[in-house]
Amino acid sequence: MKKIKMLIECPACDGTGVYSGMGEGENIAVVCHNCKGSGKYNYSYSYNDFKGKKQNKKIKRVYLDGYGYKIGSGKIDFKGIGEIDMDKEGVSYKEFIGGKMPTHIEKLACPMTADQGKCHNIDGFVDRCNSFNGGWFSLLTSCKNRNNKAECWKIFNRGTL
Count: domains in the chain = 3
Mean pLDDT value of segment 49-54: 94
Q: Are residues 137 and 152 in the same domain?
A: yes
Q: Is 41 helix (H, G, I), strand (E, B) or coil?
A: strand
- With contact defined as beta carbons under 8 Å apart, do 155 and 145 qualify? no
Mean pLDDT value of segment 44-68: 94
Q: What is the pLDDT of residues 100-114, one digit of tens each?
A: 999 999 998 889 889
Mean pLDDT value of segment 25-52: 95
Q: Are residues 121 and 98 in the same domain?
A: no
Q: Are residues 58 and 105 in the same domain?
A: yes
Q: Are residues 82 and 40 in the same domain?
A: no
Mean pLDDT value of segment 52-77: 94
- With contact defined as beta carbons under 8 Å apart, do 102 and 91 qualify? yes
- With contact defined as beta carbons under 8 Å apart, do 60 and 92 qualify? yes
Q: Are residues 66 and 40 in the same domain?
A: no
Cut 0.75: pTM above it:
no
Question: Which residues have CB under 8 Å from 83's CB, separation 6+?
Answer: 75, 76, 77
Range of the domain at 147: 111-158
- The amino acid occupying position 26 is E
Identify the sign of the CA torsion 127, 131, 134, 140: negative
Q: Are residues 16 and 41 in the same domain?
A: yes
Mean pLDDT value of segment 93-97: 97
Question: Cα(84)–Cα(43) distance, rounded to whole angstroms?
Answer: 41
Question: Which residues have CB under 8 Å from 73's CB, separation 6+?
Answer: 60, 61, 86, 87
Q: Are residues 102 and 135 in the same domain?
A: no
Question: Cα(19)–Cα(12) distance, rounded to whole angstroms?
Answer: 7
Q: Are residues 77 and 105 in the same domain?
A: yes
Q: Are residues 105 and 136 in the same domain?
A: no
Q: Are residues 75 and 33 in the same domain?
A: no
